Amino acid sequence: MNRWQFHTLNATSLLLALVIGFQFWLERGVVALNHRVVQTQAAAVVNNARKIEPILRNLSMRIAQASDAEPAFRVLMVKHGMKVTMLVDGQEKSYP
C-alpha cells in the first residue's frame, strides 16, 4: 500500500466515523422528540377526557331517568356498571 492509498483509507475511515457519530446524535434527537410527542398526546387525551366528562355525566343521568319508563335502559346500566344517584322530588334516588 503506497502513501496515497494509506491517506485515502484514513480519510474514508474518518468520514465513516463522523457519519456514524452523526447518526447516533440524530437518533438521540429522534428519541427525545418521540418522548415529547408521547407526552403531548397523553396531555391531549387527558384534556379530551376533561371536556367530554360533563357530556357523559349528562348522558348517564338521562339514561337513568329513562330507565324508569324503559326497562332496556335499566339492563344497559346494569350491563355497563353505571350507577347514578339523583335528586328526585327532594329525595335521593339511586339507579343501578
Condensed to tens digits (0 to 9), the pLDDT of residues 36-54 reads: 999 999 999 999 999 999 9
pLDDT of 25 reads: 96
Percentage of the chain lying above the pLDDT 70 cut? 100
Candidates 54, 52, 75, 55; CA nearest to 95 is: 75
What contacts 64, CB < 8 A, 6 or more positions away? 73, 77, 82, 84, 86, 95
